[in-house]
Every structure is written in structure tokens, then in C-alpha cells.
Structure 1
Amino acid sequence: MVDGNRKHGRATAVLAIAVLMLAACADVPTSGPVVAGNPVRDPGPPPYVAFAAASPSPGDEPAGIVDGFLDAMRAYQPGYETATMFLTPDAQASWEPMAGITVHRGARPSIEELDDNVIRMTIAVAGTVDENGSFEVAEPGTTREIDLQMAQIDGEWRIANPPEGTLISEDIFAREFESHNLCFFSPDLEVFVLDPVYVPINAQTATLLTQMLLDGPSEWLDPAVHTAFPERVALGVSSVPVEAGVATVDLSVAAQDAEPAQREWMAAQLACTLSGLPEVTNIALDSDGVPLLSQDQPTIPATIDERYDLQRPGTVSVLTAVQDGAVVQRQDNEYEPVPGALGDPADVLDIAVRPVGDDVAVIGDGGFTVRVGTLSDGAQPDVIYEGAGLTSPSWDRNDVIWAVDRIDDEGDLVALRPDGTELEVRSEWLKDADVSNVSVSPDGVRMVVVADGAAYLALVVHDTENRERVSVERPRRIGPAGTAVDVDFSGAEHIALLSEEKSDEPDAEEAEHREVDVYLLDIFGSVVANRGSVLDATSVAADATGGTVVATEEGLLLEHETRNRWADAGEGTAPVFVRETVS
């Protein structure tokens, strides 16, 4: 968690990013949704010409003034000098252009002239960049109406009440911004938790990312992560120079109070955060000119430390599924039963595997029990929980087994320890919701929940004073419009989503087959890729390396190959990818 001063610094850094980005914006039409990820930056020159906004022309009508104001917000000048020319003197004094960014669909908002000299802008909102720099996807169909009061100043029309913040089109935002990850720690300091932020492609990225890292995590993520940097530590100089591949991070003198172990964690966070920059190969970490690293190692590689990397090298993904009530694994394109009791035809309905090791939680006995066993020996799994209609197990790295229990035809979240201890799940927003599916991210911090037919991204916060209490909070609606069917995390940065579009046709319910779309979302919930549709798809399994498998009502497994092409992957249900170490 971070204090208010640090949060203010984070907001200031983000606004500086917006300033730099808007200075470089160009009105070049592109297509497609807002895309987040961690793309490789192109070090070459930008393929566009900077847009220069025009000032108001004498005699412009109100609609022309509004159009000019929209254009001027795309091209930053100190104080948005050109944009303010379209405002009344009072509005110029009160307007806060850097209060946030609203990203809208379409080239520009629609404009309608109303009575009493009012211009109404209607915006199809794609998302917003909040004061902490996080992008939040708007719910499908979200619109915003802004009524601009027009007034005449010396015979010329001007805007008297501009909106707070700036407006930018989705296409330009996607073209000019790219996503990078700030790296924080899980509360136990065992793994990195990624906090993605957008930065302009041609910004001083190393400086901006370092400043944002020091300012702390986004407000949304803050309760669930830890940073090794002390609150009083800031950049000792105003930039992070990169010379011959070495980024020199000079911190304020307060960093010298950090113990050696804390310095190592600080360096690991920096190396992870800057690892996506091709111009940075090594990092030197100083404080007021005094090296903070050991004399034997004055710099460290700008790479993700394997000790904290969720996607550790030396592991492979093995497709695991259920056939005739038995757990099987794919080996050389053939399915082999796992050893022992779980590999015998029984009553297994669904499975979840512990992130580390070969322990497995299975839903069995017709959905009335959760059992815990292993994939490698013949012992009968132990019953740890009895429910009414259990589905959708997920085993997180905090050693919590999640599932949905359908009681009185309504799904509730259940959280269990492997010994059967039931945790208290606190979640105001899920109290009256019908939960059908759940998946926890590999870092254990985020959760995707399907509730009332919609997919939500939520934060998982473990109580530091009571180990048997956990909160699921801060929900954000994600994905396109439609009825969510199933979800699964694809590594720490992406989410696989099955979504069924409801038809308005009278006989839609009588259709022989359901057409279910398969989407890949980024961690903000924006669509990265539409992988086509699969008839009667019921569940999805995703792997960090990009593999995706769906199961159908007919008990078939289909594996994504390219674009919207799906290949036969055999028979089975409840697919899941199991990470195994390569010997």
C-alpha cells in the first residue's frame, strides 16, 4: 500500500505521460479495439506527422467551435493553449485538461445543436484512463452525453463549460499508446504481480516507468500487492539515462537506509519493469551517486528474476481432462489415465491442479464433494468438502481451492484449504449474485468471475490479521456484450472467455446448436483477439504460452490452431493445462 503523497506523485507522472502522448498524436485512421499487452516497441521513427491544431476562425458557428475544440485536445501545447482558445475566459481559468482521459469509439463524438445555445456531444465510451494511469474498460454500450453551453464573447462563440479532462478516439489511443508492466510483489514477496500501464510509444519510457514504479501500484491493485521501495524514496535526478544499454537509476539519499535484502528486491522490481525495453540490457542502481548494488556486480541484467517469475523456464504444459469420469493426460497425441484412483473410470466431473506440484482437487460424487489427491500415486483422494452442486474448481498459489456451489439454484463462491478448512469469503457485490464460474490468476491476486451471465475481473485480498478470511472486491465488467459461459486465465496477462450472443429471433431458444465465441482479453478486459466460434462450447482452458482448448456439450475437445481454426483434440470434458517441470 502507498500513502497519499505517493499516490499524488503517481497521478502527476501519469498526467505527464498524457501530456507527452498528446503532443505526438496524429489523425491517422486505423481500426480495431483498444489493445493492451506488452508489445515490443519500434525504436524507429514514428510513421506519422504530428497533428497541429488550428485556432478558432472569426465567425465560426457553435458546432464549428466544438469541432475545433475536439481537434485541439489531440495536440498538446503547454496549458493546452490552442484548446483554451475555444473557451470563454472563465472556462479557461477553471478547465482541468489533465484530470483524466476518456477514450471514445469512432473518429469523433456526435454533435447535436439544442435550444438555448447548447451543443450536445454523445460519446460511445470505450474506456477511461484514471488518475493512477490504469485503463478501465467501459461496459458494452456505455455512452456519455456532455452538454456544452455556448456563449458569445465579443461576438464570437465560445464554450462556457468544457468537460474535465481530455477526449481521445480509440483508434488514436491504440496507435499512440503501448502497454508496459510495472512489477510489484505478492504480499509474501514470492512472485511478481504485474500492474500494466499505458505509455506513449515515443516517450522517455525508462524514466516514466521508473517514476511510476516508485510512486507505487495503481489504486485498484494497491490493497493486494507489496513494493520494496520505501515511501520516502524518489528519483534523485529527473531522468533515467540509458547509455550503451545501461539504464542508470539514481535514487534519493533515503534509499541508502534500505537493508541489503530490500535493495535486492528493489533491484528485482526495476529489472522486471524495464525488461521490456529493447534499449535497456543492464541496470545500475545508485543513491545520490553511491552504488546500492554490490561492488562485485555494479549492474544487473534487465531481465525478470526467475525466483519471482510465474512463468518459470524449464516447464511444459500438459493438457489434462476428464474421460468417462477418469482423469487423463495427453502424451504424444494420446490420452493416458493418470496413475491410481483418479485414473480409473469413476465419477470425476471437474478438476483443478495446484500451481506447484501434482496435487489435484476434483469435483466428484455427482457434484456433491470436493476431493483432494495427487496425479502421481494411486491413493484415493480425500473428501474435504460436501456441497449441493459443485462446479468450476480453481486452485490458487495461496493454497486456496475455489469452487462454485449451487444452493437453491443459485451459485455461491466457496474457498477451502486443502485440509478442508472453509474460509470466510467477503464480497458485498456477490451477495445476491448467481455465480457460475471462477478462475484465479497465477499470481493469486486477480479473479475472473462469471456472475449473472457477465464476466467480471475482481481483486483477491487476503486478510493479514485472519488467515481464514479473504475478500473478493473491486469488480470490473470485462469482455464484449453477450452471455459469459466460462473463463480461464491465460498466464498472468490474458484471459480466455467464452461468450454466447443472445439472439432477438423468436425461435432463438429452439436452435439445435449454440454458437459460442472464443475471445482472448488483456488484463484490462479489452478484446485482443476473436478466435472464432465453437458450437455448443461449455468450458475453456488456457495456457500462458497461448494454447487454448474448449470442451463441448457432446464431450469433444477442440484446440485452437490459427485465427478462427479449431482442430479436433479428442474426447473429454473439463480441460485444464498442468505445468510440469522438464527433467
Structure 2
Amino acid sequence: MTAGVIGRIAPLVILLLLLLTSCSSIPTAGPVGTIEATAEAETGARFVNNPPPPREGARPGEILNGFLVAGIGVSDNYSVARSYLTPSLAQTWAPEQEITIYRSDFKISSTPTEGELQLQVEVAGYIDAAGIRRNVGPGTTESMTVRMEQVQGEWRVAEIPTGIMISAADAENLLQPHELYYYSSSYQYWVPDVRWFVNRQGIATNIVKALINGPAPYLQGAVTSAFPENTALAVESVPIESGTATVDFTQDILTATDNLRRQQMEQQLRVTLTGLNTVNSVELRAGQPIPYDIDPDLVLPELDPAVPSRQIVISENELAFFEGGQLSPAADVPSVAGFDPVDPAMSYDGRNFAFLNDERTRLLATGEGQNVRAVTAGSNLTPPSYDPANWIWTAGTSDGRSYVRAIPPGGSTDNAIDVLAPWLGNRTISEIRISRDGARALIVAQQSGQSQLLLSGVSRSEDGVPQTLSDPISLNPPGAVDTAKWVTETSVVVADTATEGSVTATLLPFASEPDEFRPLAGLQHLSAGTGRTNVFAQSGNSIYGVVGNTWTDQGVTARDPSFAG
């Protein structure tokens, strides 16, 4: 599109947007409202956008521009967007096969070839057909050639990558993050798998389809699903009536499951769908209601397990507890002063402890009524982390390359296990924290001078022995980081620590924008309990807690605070 064309179109577009958005309570490129669902339909919030159809006599660039804008019009299966396509492409175009989210206005340019346009966008992220989102860093651009054809004298889009492109601002209105839940390998915890769906009629069906198709790649092998392989819906909709979602499977689900498995399926569907706030129960069907009885072996997994409020700290070179603004000695625990302890960790039952020596070459463990014992040795050992099964995790370096090591409960160097992580390559790990469900590892790493925040699945043997860390996904923090802690099952707090100068810690939810705390001078350590109100930091020998977004001195002299985990 030439500058002259843009100059003539822009005022008309602006006027149209002003007229449209004046009728809407949500700022977007068209009127936004909701449609009421009948009892037989799925309920839940849905956006209905009414972008303008193609203008008669419009030039190729205007048609392409209109098609891209119409991507937010989800009603009638994106009928307006399809009207900008040639009839053959309109039939095969899959709008939600891949969603591209862009940061700023796209750029349309002409090419020497008639009927071809060049489209450039600065990409913020992608969402695939399964709802898995992949964010990319600032400055990432994508360029593509779009072929146009005339249909009965009118230009239409004939060839363009499938899917829709939406701005980051429109994404906030059009897309809805949702947690799919899978069982941990022990069936003791729910493990969330955050996905993104277009917020429209049919969202419950899309959620169920994604759930039964299995977890995201990084969680495969780390979690368990109650649904047998090749599970399919017999009816391509999940109606919700009076708070009950009805999920109708094909008949073979009856022969593929026993009584316990059916209860686990219902339980997994219920905990996932209740996130819609329109569902409080689930009915399983295979042409008729699927029967099952209460099974005594059914385990009710824990959702987003809370962390005890007591922290372990180093005070006067000894282990101590910190809670409610007060320090207290760790009773029935031997002195650790001779080891010059740093970076203590505590098991979830509050009875076992681990720490590093000040050179970070030895990992030691102790507990109530236990002596201090060395559990592993190495170079550049990272702060220890307990998982729910009392395994102690750390990472270190050998010959310039990182490894991940896990020590079993009561174990030592003799039975420590090096956990496979082939993807590590030349990355150097500065921190590893195991999630409170035990199925995920939060990893801070450096590669080629750049810091990375990664999330990997933890695969275990049948008896719970850690085996492999899966190829991770990137959580894309807003800046450099060297430390990270779990805050909830789907949020972490990160910082790039320093003994001098202001440091800004950032709460990083997996499904929303980062939230910065006020800077703290000399922030050199973070800890996090249950929720953002339980985030703490160390500066010098003082511990600070968060009130709102501001750090408040807790009035104690201690260092290296750590919640259980």
C-alpha cells in the first residue's frame, strides 16, 4: 500500500473506529458485546465483533488490511474475515490453527509483482491450534508474501498463512487463558497446563478437546491423564445447563475404562471446566450416562498447595526460623556454624533442612535429631530445593557444563542421581526450583551472555525417582534475571540481584502481564510463600516483606530466607 493510499484511508478508518467504539464499553476495533446462550448451548463470556465487509472497488492493500482487522470478528465462524478471501481459500482457511499476536501496527508494502503484497509484523507471540502460547522477545519480526486475486472484478486474498493476526491490545479481549489440569505422577497433586482460547461460543468444547488430547509437550512424561489414548467426543459440543457440563464420548470409552478411571476422568474434567465459572459439575456420557460407583482408591489431588508460613533463615551463622516478624532457634537441630552456611532450604514438613557451604562446593543436610551430613559436592552449586517427596535438588558445573542432581530422602553422595537434561547444552544454571506439585522445574540459566527463565517437566520412574527434565518452554521475563521463586502454581517472582544499586523484583504470572514491585536497594535474595503477599527479599542483613508493591523492613537481622520447597 502506498503512502498516498494510506493517507486517504487513514482518516476514514479512524472515523469508522470512533463511531464503532462509541457504542462499546470495551475499546477494540469494533462493537463488542455478548450473546445470551440458550440452555442447550455453551455458556460463558463471548465477544461478538462486527468488522466491516470488503468495500466495492477496494485496492489490494485495502483488502488485505480489512482482512487482518476482521480477524477479531469471531461471529458466524469468522464470516466477515472469510469474505475478504477467494472462495477456495475461504473454504480451507483455519482461523484458529495459529494465532499471531503482534506488538505494533502491521506494515503492508507493494512488490514488483502484480497481485503480490509484502506484510511485515513485529511479533509478540504465537498460539497454536492446541492453545499453547509461545511468546517471543521484543524486536522479533515476521515478513510474508501475500498473493491477491480478482474475483468477479474485486480483489481478494488468495494465499496467506492460515490463522488470524491480532494486536496485543485485542488479544486481551479476544483471548482467554485457561488452566487444563493433569494428575501428577503420584496422583497427589493437580498440575496446571496453561492454554489460550478464543473467548467465544464453543470455548468449553475447545477446552475439553485440548484436555483429552493430552498435555503440552514440555509436560509429557511428567504428568498423567485419566483419558485413554485416542479418546474422542461423540458430539462436537459440550452443552452447559444449570451448571452441569455434559461431555459425550464415543462408545469405546466404556470398554477402555474401569470404575476408578471413569471417576478420575470426571474429576479431571470437573477441576478443569470449573475454571469457566459456569460449571460446577460434569456428566460423562457415551450415548447414555456413563455409570460408576464411588471407588475407595480414588485420590482427591491437591490444587495449588499452600506453603507453611514459617521460613528458614541464617541468623548468627546458625539455622533459625522466621515467622510473623520474629526469629526463633531451630530446635533439636545441630550447630551448622562450622560450615559457614548459605542458602538454606526446608522440607514441606519443616523437619529437614539443606544448605550450601559459603564456597558453594558442598551441599549438606540435617534435620530434627539428625547430624549434619554431606549429600553432594561440586562446583557452583545452586541453592537447594526440596520437592514434595523430600528429594533435594541442586545444579552444578563440571568441565564448564551444567548438570542437575537430585538426592533421595535421607540420601548422600552414594545415591545421588544426575537427572538427564540433554537440552542443557552450553547453558549454565544459576537456580533450579521444583514446583509444589513436584512435576515442574523452574530454571534460571545463562547462555551466550543472556539470561533465560525456563520451565521444564520432571519425569519420574514408577517409584518416584527423578529421571529426566523435558525440553523446556521459555517464560520470557521482561529483563535479565538470576533468581526465581514459585509464588503460585502459575506465577513466579524474579529479579536480577545486586549488592548495590536499585533492584526491581517482578511478579511474572504465566497468563497475564508482569507486575513490578518497587525497587529495593541492594536486593540480593528472594523468597516466596503462598501468593504475592508472601514475597520477601534480603538487603544487607535485613529482611523485607511486600505490602502492596512496597518493601517493608521486618526488623530482624538475618539472611537467605527461604520458604519450604
Give yes or no for TM over 0.5: yes
Q: Which residue of 2 aligns with 1:20?
A: none
Q: Is the 8 A contact 1:148 1:159 kept in 2?
A: yes
Counterpart CA distance in 2 for 1:471 and 1:44 is 41
Select the residue among 487, 491, 496 that pairs with 1:494.
491
| Alignment partners' CA distance in 2, 1:45 and 1:245 | 11
Shift of residue 397, structure 1, vs aligned partner: 2.9
1:63 aligns with 2:55: no
The SS at the match of 2:260 is helix
Q: Distance in 1 between matches of 2:562 and 2:502?
A: 22
Q: What does residue 550 of structure 2 align with? A: 565
Q: 1:321 to 1:140 in 2, by over 3 A?
A: farther
Partners of 1:59 and 1:271 in 2: CA distance = 52
SS in 1 for 2:63: helix
What's the counterpart of residue 474 of structure 1? 471
In structure 2, give the amino acid aligned to 1:370: L
Amino acid at match of 1:181: E
Letter in 2 for 1:348: P
1:18-29 matched pairs, under 5 angstroms: 28-29=26-27
| Residues 1:535 and 2:534 aligned together | no
Equivalent runs, 1:144-543 vs 2, <5 Å: 144-150=142-148, 156-231=154-229, 233-257=231-255, 258-294=257-293, 307-312=300-305, 316-341=308-333, 345-346=337-338, 347-356=340-349, 358-364=351-357, 366-374=359-367, 377-407=368-398, 411-418=402-409, 419-420=411-412, 421-452=415-446, 453-462=450-459, 464=461, 470-499=467-496, 513-523=500-510, 527-543=513-529
Q: For 1:52-91, what aligned pairs fall within 5 Å after superposition?
A: 52-76=50-74, 80-87=78-85
Q: Is the 8 A contact 1:73 1:80 kept in 2?
A: yes
Deviation of the 1:483 alpha carbon: 1.6
Residue of structure 1 in register with 2:39 after alignment: none
Identity fraction in percent: 25
Instruction: Report the alpha carbon displacement of residue 139 of structure 1 after superposing the two structures with TM.
Output: 2.8
| CA deviation string 1:480-527 (max 9, x = no partner) | 342212111113111111147xxxxxxxxxx99333222222236x53
Shift in Å at residue 167 of structure 1?
0.7
Paired letter, 1:462: S
Structure 1 residue 80, shift from structure 2 partner? 4.5
What is the DSSP-based 3-state SS (H/G/I as helix, E as strand, rest coil) of the residue aligned with 1:67?
helix
Decide which of 116, 125, 128 is 2:126's aligned counterpart. Answer: 128
Letter in 1 for 2:431: N
8 Å CA contact retained: 1:99, 1:131: yes
Q: 1:142 to 1:575 in 2, by over 3 A?
A: farther
**CA shift in 2, pair 1:308/1:434, >3 Å:** same
Contact conserved, 1:337 with 1:344, CA < 8 A, in 2?
Answer: no
The 2-side partners of 1:231 and 1:575 are apart by 45
Per mean C-alpha deviation after superposition, the further-off stretch among 421-430 and 156-165 is: 156-165
1:119 deviates by: 3.4
List alignment gaps of at least 5 residues for structure 2: 1-23, 29-41
- Is the CA contact 1:87–1:162 (under 8 Å) kept in the aligned structure 2? no
When normalised by structure 1's length, the TM-score is 0.78
Question: Which position in structure 2 is the counterpart of 1:300?
Answer: none
Q: Distance in 2 between matches of 1:80 and 1:206?
A: 18
Q: Which residue of 2 aligns with 1:100?
A: 98
CA-CA distance at 1:338 after TM superposition: 0.9
Partner Cα separation in structure 2 for residue 392 and residue 349 of structure 1: 8
How far, CA to CA, are the matches of 2:349 and 2:65 in structure 1? 56
Displacement of 1:554 in angstroms is: 1.8
The change in CA–CA distance for 1:311 and 1:62 in structure 2 (over 3 A counts) is closer
Which amino acid letter does the alignment assign opposite residue 198 of structure 1?
Answer: W
Alpha-carbon distance in 2 for matches of 1:131, 1:571: 52
3-state SS of 1:320 partner = strand
Q: Do the aligned partners of 1:422 and 1:468 also contact (CA within 8 Å) in 2?
A: no
AA aligned opposite 1:339: A
Please name the residue that 1:38 is paired with. none
TM-superposed CA distance for 1:308, in Å, is 0.9
Q: Give CA-to-partner distance per residue, 1:296-319, whole Å, 9 cap, x none.
A: 99xxxxxxx983115457x74223
| CA displacement at 1:339 relative to structure 2 | 1.3
Q: Secondary structure at the match of 2:470?
A: strand
**Is the Cα–Cα contact under 8 Å of residues 355 and 383 in structure 2 kept in the other structure?**
no
> Residue type of the partner of 2:312?
T
DSSP-derived class of the 2:382 partner: strand
Of 256-265 and 110-119, more deviation after overlay is shown by: 110-119
Please tell me whether the aligned partners of residues 485 and 539 of structure 1 are also in contact (alpha carbons under 8 angstroms).
Answer: no
Aligned twin of 2:8: none
8 Å contact kept, 2:270–2:280: no
Superposed displacement of residue 356, structure 1: 4.6
2: CA distance between counterparts of 1:86 and 1:359?
65
Q: Deviations over 1:451-488 (max 9, x none)?
A: 11423323234354897662223222223342212111
- The CA RMSD over aligned residues, in Å, is 3.5
Alpha-carbon distance in 2 for matches of 1:90, 1:532: 55
Distance, in Å, in 2 between the alignment partners of 1:296 and 1:441 is: 29
SS of the residue corresponding to residue 173 of structure 1 reads helix
SS in 2 for 1:436: strand
How far does the alpha carbon of each residue in 1:262-316 deviate from its partner, in whole angstroms, 9 at most, with x for none?
Answer: 223222212211332433333344443244233899xxxxxxx983115457x74
Distance 1:413 1:338, change over 3 A: same
Amino acid at match of 1:270: L
SS of residue matched to 1:547: helix
Q: Which whole-Å CA distance do the structure 2 matches of 1:512 and 1:539 have between them?
A: 10
